[in-house]
Amino acid sequence: MKSAQSARPAGGGPARPPVIGITARTVPVTIQGAQMVVSLSLQSHVDFLAAAGCIPVVIPLRPGNEEILGSLQGLLVPGGPDIDPELYGQHRHPTTHGGSPGMDRAELALIGAALAGGLPLLAICRGMQLLNVQCGGTLHQHLPEVTGSDGHRPQGDTFEFGRHALELHEGSHIARIFGDDTPKSACHHHQAVDQVGTGLTVTARAPDGVVEVVEAAGHPFAVGVQWEAGQTEDDRLHRALADAARRL
């Protein structure tokens, strides 16, 4: 990947807004009675980044799309379906329901290029798991078998988040982002980091030991969080990504 380009134009004029790529999710929908497949992004990711002074762009998951990163100042990888366990050397658990292995590989390539190029990266839920797999780590495929409960993905008649107090490591990106006002996580996942990937540091855990945050050592800003950032009103992670993109 070419090195990320500066957001400041030649001639010393005002800096252009940083452009942040959001990897798309591909889902079937019905519009006006017609069934179709679309590539989309959660609107809150778009709104939070725009409010932070960025230009969000949605990146479809196609082979070779990592070449676009040379035109971006940051990358956001959101939540989504389970990852193909063959990509981290395991057989499929009965509860693992992934999307497309080809899309997994395309998204892994984007993450790998962002890491190699020093591009600011925020990886959320599935995104954090992809970051871990890209760095050679593995996943727990069904977390209740590890923790003994459904606390990270509550089961009930209505959708609800699991809430967990976070213990942040002093001096980490995540501790600087939240300071003394650390929220409880808002999570809805049945998989989580098992073996931590090479070059990643765990900087927050839930009380039951589940990894909630990883950061890439030696990278300007590569942070993975396990909870559903973007599905609450807290936009501090998005603003931190925007700040890192501006520093680029």
Do the beta carbons of residue 187 and residue 161 sit within 8 Å? yes
Domain count, the chain: 1
d(CA 55, CA 242): 10
pLDDT (0 to 100) of residue 115: 98
Q: Minimal CA–CA distance to 23: which of 58, 55, 47, 64?
A: 58
Strand arrangement of the beta sheet that strand 55-59 belongs to: 55-59, 19-23, 74-77, 121-124, 222-225, 211-216, 200-205, 167-168
183 domain residue, yes or no: yes
pLDDT (0 to 100) of residue 6: 46
Query: Which residue carries 């957001």 as its tokens?
Result: 7
CATH code at position 59: 3.40.50.880
pLDDT (0 to 100) of residue 166: 84
pLDDT (0 to 100) of residue 59: 97
Strand runs labelled E in the chain: 19-23, 25-31, 34-40, 55-59, 74-77, 121-124, 139-140, 162-164, 167-168, 185-187, 192-193, 200-205, 211-216, 222-225
pLDDT (0 to 100) of residue 149: 66
Q: Minimal CA–CA distance to 20: which of 44, 43, 53, 42?
A: 53
* Residues of the chain below pLDDT 50: 1-6
pLDDT (0 to 100) of residue 143: 85
11 domain residue, yes or no: no
9 domain residue, yes or no: no
143 domain residue, yes or no: yes
- Pair of tokens at residue 165: 């107090």
- 157 beta partners: none
4 domain residue, yes or no: no
48 domain residue, yes or no: yes
120 domain residue, yes or no: yes
121 domain residue, yes or no: yes
Q: Which domain holds residue 42?
A: 19-247
Q: Minimal CA–CA distance to 122: which of 167, 68, 170, 74?
A: 74
